[in-house]
Chain A
């Protein structure tokens, strides 16, 4: 929890420059690719609330993502509900799923790898359920009717989609920053650092953890709804698959877990790396996943605080005011 440094500002500035640069890119491929990365970045930010700030490493954030997407899709397809209502419902459904998983897991004091396994199990159970039941569309999934327009939250123009996503990402990051510097955030970090000490200091750790899961669920559900509105189609493998769970945690870990910028930086960096690998070696499908694994291992070994932590070592500002006070 150091103050900002020049290195971190430079890193954030680079990300912003890239995101703005996409508007002027010669090929539309860049925008399409970045849109996908931004949706994943929102899942990563969702994971960052529990995994980064709370130290509650989930291995099943697809459970939250998929629940948001399915809740909105079912309402729209089966009940003809407006897309905006579905949007809100997806966020709420994600939050409810998060709170439910958290309430169960933390009631029985699960931590660390046990918590990770339970979340993974939840995501898998939901995936199987979604592919079996009729109201979730079974194996063929759910498809929204194509009806572009603001009222239906569907946009034909890529640039509009991209801009809207940037706004959503910015809002989620602002919310993350507000959480980080709030009482709730301090309590969540305290739970991560030392749960017994947190309890002694008057923190209801159970409640804090369940609340964190609910907030994380809201962000995860939001990401799921964004995916749905973009592609207008979901099935169980796409939204409840373990690939989402993996992407949710790999971005924050590489970018810097428990930081505001980490999930975005990590996700963008990884996707750029994977895309680059695809272009350089077009005949090796799946190579990007190998690269992810290598980068993840290196990050875990050499960058415990991720890119943000690494950048923090360059040009740290000294807190002048506090030095004078002391």
Chain B
């Protein structure tokens, strides 16, 4: 569904992303892992059209979308969410979701009723009339998801939707993501919460210092020495092995 080939991006002298490639199959949940500053969000912004890639290409549903502006990409059915949640603070929850729904429903009543349905599906039925600014962090993360879903997009790029949530909230949102996937959506998610990645993602990519260093099922990745070293530092894998043997 999504084919990313050799994306590169430099900011001044800093190479944020070098030659990053990844594939997302329709109906799957794919993780994008990596330590802080690895270039995950930069990757997302390039895929979703928010920043222009220096090199490389992005194909979505077989169509070349490299360099298209975000609104065109969204209209084609791919949408990103933000790591730092971006609600329309002055609007109610339902109006927030309706902004997404307007993409394919030009009539206000239709958009509002789609927004209501989506909100209820994500367990926000009781909050629909509350101002978005009154939501907790967990509520705002859910709102990001609801708004993205309301656009009718099939591929959702989630940027750390679990960050800052307590375990019970994570369990809930994991359930929601699985339910949305089963309704025919595809996910590419940046995530630090390993519990979530392990239980959700079929495959994951690991980015370190702008380069893809590993790719495979998450359970194998956590045993991959290069991945362990990316997170814990050079030589960490060897030390861990020694400790395990001892």
Contact = CB atoms under 8 A, between A and B. Distances in A.
Contact of A186 (B86, B90, B95): B95
A189 interface: yes
B82 A197 contact: yes
Interface string A173-216: 00000000111001101101110111111111100000000000
Contact of B102 (A1, A187, A197): A187
Contacts of A17: none
Interface stretch (B13-21, B103-111, B234-242): B103-111
B102 A200 contact: no
Contacts of A200: 48, 50, 70, 74, 79-82, 86, 148
A319 interface: yes
B48 A189 contact: no
A319 B112 CA distance: 15
Interface residues on A, range: 20 to 34
A322 interface: yes
A199 B98 contact: no
B130 to A, nearest CB: 10
Contact of A199 (B70, B90, B107): B70
B75 A202 contact: yes
Contacts of B70: 199-200, 202
A326 interface: yes
A180 B29 CA distance: 38
A203 B88 CA distance: 14
Given A182-B108, A193-B91, A198 B99 contact: yes
Interface string A63-83: 000000000000000000000
Interface in B87-123: 87-92, 95, 98-100, 102-103, 106-108, 111, 116
Contacts, number: 89
A194 B86 contact: yes
Contacts of B98: 186
Contacts of B125: 325-326
A190 B99 CA distance: 7
B131 to A, nearest CB: 8
A202 B151 contact: yes
Contact of A201 (B92, B126, B151): B151
Main secondary structure, interface of A, reads helix
B184 interface: no
Interface string B160-191: 00000000000000000000000000000000
Contacts of B128: 322, 326
Interface residues on B, range: 35 or more
Contacts of B99: 186-187, 190, 198, 201, 203
B63 to A, nearest CB: 16
B69 interface: yes
B61 interface: no
A307 to B, nearest CB: 17
In this complex, the member of B70, B147, B148 whose beta carbon has the largest number of chain A beta carbons within 10 angstroms is B70
Contact of A1 (B90, B106, B111): B90
Given A201-B99, A319-B129, A193 B88 contact: yes
Nearest to A323: B129
B86 A197 contact: yes
A253 B79 CA distance: 35
A199 B71 contact: yes
A326 B80 CA distance: 28
A199 B108 contact: no
B42 to A, nearest CB: 15
A183 to B, nearest CB: 5
B88 A189 contact: yes
Given A186-B111, A202-B71, A197 B80 contact: no
A193 B74 contact: no
Interface of B: 48, 50, 69-71, 74-75, 79-82, 86-92, 95, 98-100, 102-103, 106-108, 111, 116, 125-126, 128-129, 147-148, 151
Given A198-B99, A200-B82, 17 more contacts: A1-B92, A183-B102, A183-B107, A186-B98, A186-B111, A189-B91, A192-B90, A193-B89, A197-B82, A199-B50, A199-B69, A200-B81, A202-B70, A202-B71, A203-B71, A319-B129, A326-B129
Top 6 closest A-B pairs, CB basis?
Answer: A202-B74, A193-B88, A197-B86, A202-B103, A204-B71, A190-B99
